[in-house]
Structure 1
């Protein structure tokens, strides 16, 4: 399995003016800090020194901890609460004696949060005590300002056993944030295989047209041809499509990904794939990418793909499926809840089912896999209480990430918010929660409270067997895992060995900085022309040669030099 975890660059480089300290900008990647095993970590109750009076698991009197927050579209509130004042901030104060202070908040949409943060850096504003960011590039840009402390020693001293266990499941999540003198950001663990692609197919169309489950690309083509040409929706018009792709921003877009098609030919575009010899190679210039592009062009010509796919993002593409116009879409297991649940609302009687990604002509399967971390936390050099973040996150890992029966987080975060007790039993049904369901864990400093990578898919797999929950985490998972989600999660876990994960997360290399944007534009333009028939398939070979001669070969060498440096041990 291709499991080395590294993060793709997705945001622009930090303005040169934010690189405030020359010494900080010259730091080079190095080996990860030596993380102790989970059972060797000291917990706060074991005699650790604090920067303020600490008693019975909390600061007394309370301390302030400043931060900033990115507000996503799924971050919603109730009872008049805001990010600055809500059930989560009250919990932090009451349980831990930590008064969270928000310098500012900004929405994620249109990169408003990133823009606000970059402006703050350009203006040399004082950074808050703790900054959590989702994007690895942005984290590295923050590191290069010199405003944040080395955190490896803090980690060794303060991280709890469960917190260390979560990160130790994949120590390479530290790789992006290392410099020669240590680690400068703490990775935020994410559920394994959480965003990895499976296929969803209109099951009512399959039944109506008497079609069999696909195993190969050839099988899938027969299904797509039927969906396009045999009037599956019965309206007498040829107005349906085979598969939804939305590659305006990326071929690997989350909810309408084409990565599974490239994976069927042995590569995944736009990321650095690990090769059999252990080196890294850019997926978009591999021979398999040419075959995948040829197939996309063929499908476009046959009307299997919507003509505006290159102009659509994954949200727009997924709406074609939920509106009943497309019969197949690739995306994560959690799409069963959103947005695919809208299909039944929009098209009465419609059904969908999860399927494995198809095999290519040589029996290959592949898909872009998500990383085992979702971002990073940085701690200000001037923070008065740098250990306070660990007091906060340790509690979440010990009680939220793996709850025990009777824990305050045994069902979800807070009764009346993300669950309710009805007739003596917990439920996450929004219709049964007064005022509807909101998710306080999204208010936390690390976006989703605390996650142990392997826990979620393993829980779903066990629940899918019908044996009932075997631990409290499975009890909690069962509240949000209906039959479609469990079926999708089972398919997802069966495909775990097919995932390609980005293997390069270091700060941009020297040649990436000078040539990267031009190479990306060349790639995007060439691929679009091939898919739409504006250039012959052999244009791909010219693209590869141009990519290599225009900086690609140098970048490949630089990427591999870095990769060797972090894999020495």
Structure 2
């Protein structure tokens, strides 16, 4: 597999060298320093490594700790002899982190050794093309541990977005495979109250949504419930409260590049199935099955309808029972829900968008004197934390009293720890280290009744709500129905110039159709405009790229 990946990357190199002549900005590089020696796995004296990463609002601290000084930074210094420093810690709210980093780049300010980013792919490209970052692929080949390389070999396509002129400038932050594949969560107590069965087809789903909307399932005597909650502010095919599966019932997936069945890729949003999906959403919205505010709801706001007990169905990843949807049990007495397979459409098929096996990227400053320091840090997490051994320091979690504790001789997870928090959210790569196939395989086996044996299995059992295991089983059973985005390369030349404009055209047109502001025939006009505004050129460029990796 690794040889296959390198062959594909070599092909990209040949194409890029032929196609590109400008190159990254020339930035002087400091002379490489003498490699640092480790003493019993630790730098003595301690060495410094600066980094930047975004901070989410759900990242919590305890014991007076901060982003700059916490149990994770203390661990890095005590265990590895690495003194982690961050010049500033800014939230992703309202894109504050990305704005500040972009301003730093435009002002030519000195950047830290490591920049770790999730989201804002355009900013990632700006950073890569700035000439300020090293060929991370070469460093990975030289310094990464076997465990980390094996994780990479299982998902070689995750490197493609960070290629520039044939080189790997960013290291993908590997995530669990299928972590974003969607399942349907439905209020089980509402089904029982109204005498309904779990919907297996679109017609049965419509029957259930109609009852959830019009038969007062919450019993308050008001018409204030919805069959399904979706959030369309950011995208239709998004990460939670998504509606991509509606189009999946018509055998396509909007907002991504899908397999055309003839060895080429086609853009999902201009396929006939999307027209049918838009007509379906328009119908459901007009009948009150969806909230009228869906167009301005983001993923989290839309989920609040479910957790408040006002929507009976929500679609998203298997892990949502951990956060946020289990709150419905706190907010509504007797509320129960379960995960079920997505209903089939008119052709008897159902499809969800398929997720990749990475979630972000690490960039390494070309002026970092000793880049092996970062690999010492991340190698340790892959070798010791990702799948820990019995008796190891990470056997039960990252730090006792934070994400686990031992009470009366029994290990309890973060949810049962007093003021429990997850130190993994403090790490440079946001989640410590993840081996792509490990989590879903483990969840599915535990769902079948397997007794947990390894520390990873035991920790997974402790850390997840019971509904997560059922949902994971649904994901695994239906993984072949996933439609993955097949284009994972860097933006093409036409994308750089025109994608923002045609994306706006798409979003505006789809919203107007769903809300009944224009007729469904406007979809055909949209397709024509999309092609003439650069879509045809983008399609050709995407398929030129696709030839290099297949």
Q: Please tell me the TM-score bracket, short chain as reference.
A: over 0.9
Match of 1:122 in 2: 106
Q: How does 1:275-314 map to 2 (within 5 A)?
A: 275-314=260-299
* CA shift digits 1:25-65 (9 cap, x unpaired): 69xxxxxxxxxxxxxxxxxxxxxx97223211111121111
Correspondence 1:205-244 to 2 at 5 A: 205-244=190-229
C-alpha change, 1:25 and 1:505, in structure 2 (3 Å) is: farther
CA–CA distance in structure 1, aligned partners of residues 345 and 217 of structure 2 = 26
TM-score, normalised on structure 1?
Answer: 0.89
CA distance in 2, matches of 1:226, 1:163: 50
Shift of 1:484: 1.4
Q: 1:266 is matched with which residue? A: 251
Contact 2:265/2:486, CA 8 A, preserved across alignment: yes
- The alpha-carbon deviation at position 181 of structure 1 amounts to 4.4
Query: Of the candidates 175, 178, 182, which is equivalent to residue 160 of structure 2?
Result: 175
Alignment equivalent of 2:498, drawn from 491, 515, 539: 515
Q: Find the aligned partners of 1:298 and 1:455 in 2 and give their Cα distance.
A: 41
Partner of 2:319, secondary structure, is helix
Paired residue secondary structure (1:330): strand
Q: Specify the alignment match of 1:110 in structure 2.
A: 94
Output the CA distance in 2 between the equivalents of 1:510 and 1:164: 31
1:493 pairs, out of 473, 476, 486, with: 476
Maintained 8 Å contact 2:160/2:490: no
Q: Measure, in 2, the Cα distance between the counterparts of 1:283 and 1:524.
A: 13
Give me the whole-angstrom Cα distance separating, in 2, the residues matched to 1:560 and 1:25: 28
Shift of residue 429 of structure 1? 4.7
2: CA distance between counterparts of 1:97 and 1:328? 49
The answer to whether structure 1 residue 80 and structure 2 residue 82 are counterparts is no
> Are 1:94 and 2:78 counterparts?
yes
Matches of 1:269 and 1:515, distance apart in 2: 18
C-alpha displacement at 1:502, in angstroms? 2.3
- Pair 181,528 (structure 1): closer, same or farther in 2 beyond 3 Å: closer
Trace 1:251-262 onto structure 2 (pairs within 5 A): 251-262=236-247
Match of 2:423?
Answer: 440
Measured at CA, do residues 82 and 208 of structure 1 come closer, stay the same or move farther in structure 2, by a change above 3 Å?
Answer: same
SS of equivalent to 2:109: coil
**1:470-499: CA deviation from partner (whole Å, max 9, x where unpaired):** 322101111112311211221122221122
Report the alpha carbon displacement of residue 152 of structure 1 after superposing the two structures with TM.
Answer: 2.1
Tell me the distance in 2 between the aligned counterparts of 1:312 and 1:254: 13
Q: Cα distance, 1:177 vs. partner?
A: 1.3
Q: 1: CA distance between counterparts of 2:25 and 2:533?
A: 25
Stretch of structure 1 that moved more, 499-508 or 94-103 = 499-508
Moved over 4 A (4+): none
Aligned to 1:44: none
1:23 matches 2:23? yes
CA contact (8 A) 1:460 1:486 kept: yes
Cα distance in 1 for residues equivalent to 2:138 and 2:493: 29
Aligned equivalents of 2:425 and 2:41: distance in 1? Answer: 23
Q: Is the contact made by 1:137 and 1:507 (CA closer than 8 Å) also made in structure 2?
A: no
Please name the residue that 1:42 is paired with. none
Rounded to whole Å, the distance in 1 between the matches of 2:34 and 2:478 is 45
Map 1:313-352; keep pairs closer than 5 Å: 313-352=298-337
Whole-angstrom CA distance in 2 between matches of 1:328 and 1:564: 40
Deviations 1:384-434 (A, max 9, x none): 111111111110001111111011111110001100001112101534x23
Distance across 2 between alignment mates of 1:55 and 1:504: 44
2:406 is the alignment partner of 1:421: yes
Residues 209-218 or 134-143, more deviating: 134-143
The unaligned stretches of length 5 or more in structure 1 are: 6-20, 27-48
> How far is the alpha carbon of 1:22 from its aligned partner?
5.1
| Aligned counterpart for 1:374 among listed residues 359, 370, 374 | 359
Q: TM-score scaled to structure 2, two decimals?
A: 0.92
Q: Which residue of 2 aligns with 1:46?
A: none
Match of 1:407?
A: 392
**Which residue is 1:539 aligned to?**
522
Asked if structure 2 preserves the Cα contact closer than 8 Å seen for 1:460 and 1:481, the reply is no
Structure 1 residues 154 and 513, CA gap change in structure 2 (3 angstroms)? closer
Deviation readout 1:121-145 (Å, 9 max, x if unpaired): 0110111111111134332221100
Q: Which whole-Å deviations, capped at 9, do the CAs of 1:139-158 have from their partners, x for residues lacking one?
A: 22211000011122221221
May I ask how many residue pairs the two structures share in their alignment? 524
Q: For the residues of structure 1 that align with 2:531 and 2:443, how far apart are their CA atoms?
A: 44
Alpha-carbon contact 1:50-1:387 (below 8 Å) kept: no
Give the equivalent residue in structure 1 for 2:128: 143
Residue aligned with 2:313, SS: strand
Provide the rounded CA distance (Å) in 2 between the counterparts of 1:181 and 1:522. 32
Question: Structure 1 residue 154 and structure 2 residue 154: aligned?
Answer: no
C-alpha displacement at 1:180, in angstroms? 3.2
| Structure 2: distance between partners of 1:256 and 1:553 | 31
Relative distance call for 1:50 and 1:259 in structure 2 (3 A) is farther
The answer (yes or no) to whether the contact 1:259–1:268 under 8 Å persists in 2 is yes
Q: Deviations over 1:309-368 (max 9, x none)?
A: 111111111111111111111111111122111111111111111111111111221112
What's the C-alpha RMSD, in Å, of the aligned pairs? 1.7
Residues 418 and 428, structure 1, Cα contact 8 Å, conserved in 2:
yes
Q: Which residue of 2 aligns with 1:245?
A: 230
- Counterpart-to-counterpart distance in 2, 1:227 and 1:323: 14
> How far off is 1:118 after superposition?
0.3
Correspondence for 2:15: none
- Give me the whole-angstrom Cα distance separating, in 2, the residues matched to 1:68 and 1:121: 13
